[in-house]
Amino acid sequence: MELDRLSIDNEGLIPSIKSVDVEYSFGKGESEKQVLFDNNLTIYPGEIVIMTGPSGSGKTTLLTLIGALRSMQKGSIQFLGRELLNLSDNGKHDLRKEIGFIFQHHNLFESLSALDTLKVAMQLQIPKPSPEQAEKEATELLQRLGLGERMTYKPSRLSGGQKQRVAIARALINHPKLILADEPTAALDQESGQMVIELFKERAQEEKATVLIVTHDNRILDAADRIVNMVDGHIHSNILIKEHLRICEYLNHCHVFKDVKASILNNVAHQLKRKSYKPGEIIIKQGDHGEHFYLIDTGRAVASLEKNGISQEVAVLGGGQSFGELALLNDEPRAATITAQSDVEAYLLNKNDFLSVIENPPALGDEIRNIYMQAG
């Protein structure tokens, strides 16, 4: 859903990442090419955010700017309140210690076994762990990632997926506050991909780590809180996944949309505007002209009919229930008054958008989940 519609309540929390109007160009003079434009993204501790988008859309470039692996040119990125623009090399170096990087090219040292790779990474900890502690933690993490049998192997004796898991273990061994991962599960089979996803979830939930993953792997969708889509160097949409899926599900059950295919309902969910109502507030009034279709997300509302000056309650509506379509379809006045009984959060679709959905030809399919990934 749109940026301004995110209903996550993070008041008072310091974002882990706050990027404002970030731009970036490669090259100089004649050969200068701008690849990032006005990127705004705020991510809070404990969130898992997926970034998708076509090849060349700027995902890796933005990720490396956020990770202080590249110098900022224009705009602002704050990492836990610290500004990255004009940050000194020492400052960048310190900041990187708090980040776990996982990149497509894992850059493992050929001379180090999996276990030694992790032990070397642990030397960055302050205070340094004892050799016994380092051995114990490194062993546990490698076992967790299914590498228990291969801990003493050097990269030349590991498969691509195994190397990738060593790189993931190296990124996570120091319990970073921020995990930046570029296609971390692409080389992994179902089982090891799932282990990695579980580990990300655990770090987000238990340690409030922030996880930003560039991926086209829709197995990660279920674990993620938000999906950010990049197009031509710009964050084009930023969606709360659970909320979006719930609304798609609600729309799918609305009688009026029974013949509308899932991909169109997915677009409808993007067009909805969220609105709050206080208890006692009138949402629509009998006799009024209809301009919107309504879908209740949370709360209760009462439908009442007025006849000869007497108002009579006819129904109570709750989450997932919709109203207001008749006046739009038949161009007639509102048939009933709907009043909020509790705090109500509702989604509104304007008349033109509603009518254009209804006019869409009926079709097949239930592809809501895949649609996210296809957007890339």
Ligand X SMILES: Nc1ncnc2c1ncn2[C@@H]1O[C@H](COP(=O)(O)OP(=O)(O)OP(=O)(O)O)[C@@H](O)[C@H]1O
**Residues at the contact surface with Mg ion, assessed by CB under 5 A:** 60
CB nearer to ligand X: give 61 or 185.
Answer: 61
CB nearer to Mg ion: give 181 or 336.
Answer: 181
Give me the residue label for tokens 């930003």: 212
Residue 46 partner contact from ligand X, Mg ion, none using kind-dependent CB cut-offs of 5 to 8 Å: none
Q: How far is the CB of 27 from ligand X (least distance, A)?
A: 6
CB nearer to ligand X: give 58 or 290.
Answer: 58
d(CA 327, CA 173): 60
Residue 45 partner contact from Mg ion, ligand X, none using kind-dependent CB cut-offs of 5 to 8 Å: none
Is residue 17 within 8 A of residue 66, CB to CB? The reply is yes
55 binds ligand X (CB under 6 A): yes
Residue 35 partner contact from Mg ion, ligand X, none using kind-dependent CB cut-offs of 5 to 8 Å: ligand X
d(CA 135, CA 191): 25
Choose which of 2, 56, 253, 352 interacts with ligand X (CB under 6 A).
Answer: 56
Per the document, the length of the chain is 376
d(CA 266, CA 223): 20
CB nearer to Mg ion: give 35 or 305.
Answer: 35
Residue 75 partner contact from ligand X, Mg ion, none using kind-dependent CB cut-offs of 5 to 8 Å: none
| CA dihedral angle for residue 267, residue 268, residue 271, residue 272, rounded to 10 degrees | -140
d(CA 362, CA 347): 23
Helices (H), ranges, the chain: 59-66, 89-96, 114-122, 131-144, 160-172, 190-207, 241-253, 262-271, 325-330, 351-358, 368-374
Q: How far is the CB of 33 from ligand X (least distance, A)?
A: 6
Q: How far is the CB of 376 from ligand X (least distance, A)?
A: 8
**Burial classification of residue 126, based on how many CB atoms lie within 10 Å of its CB (0-12 exposed, 13-18 middle, 19 or more buried):** exposed
# chain residues binding ligand X, by CB under 6 A: 10
Residue 308 partner contact from Mg ion, ligand X, none using kind-dependent CB cut-offs of 5 to 8 Å: none
CB nearer to Mg ion: give 63 or 199.
Answer: 63
Choose which of 61, 210, 337, 341 interacts with ligand X (CB under 6 A).
Answer: 61
Residue 109 partner contact from ligand X, Mg ion, none using kind-dependent CB cut-offs of 5 to 8 Å: none
Choose which of 18, 45, 46, 59 interacts with ligand X (CB under 6 A).
Answer: 59
Which three-class secondary structure string do you get for 209-227? CEEEEECCCCCCHHHCCEE
231 binds ligand X (CB under 6 A): no
Q: How far is the CB of 304 from ligand X (least distance, A)?
A: 53
CB nearer to ligand X: give 42 or 60.
Answer: 60
CB nearer to ligand X: give 228 or 338.
Answer: 228
Give me the residue label for tokens 């990474």: 121
339 binds ligand X (CB under 6 A): no
CB nearer to ligand X: give 28 or 258.
Answer: 28
Q: How far is the CB of 234 from ligand X (least distance, A)?
A: 11
* 214-233 burial: b if 16+ Cβ within 10 Å, else e: bbbbeebbebbbbbbbbeeb
d(CA 28, CA 24): 12
Choose which of 57, 266, 339, 341 interacts with ligand X (CB under 6 A).
Answer: 57
Here the tokens at position 247 are 């609304």
Q: How far is the CB of 214 from Mg ion (least distance, A)?
A: 6
Is residue 181 within 8 A of residue 212, CB to CB? The reply is yes
Q: Where on the chain is the footprint of ligand X (CB under 6 A)?
A: 26, 35, 53, 55-61
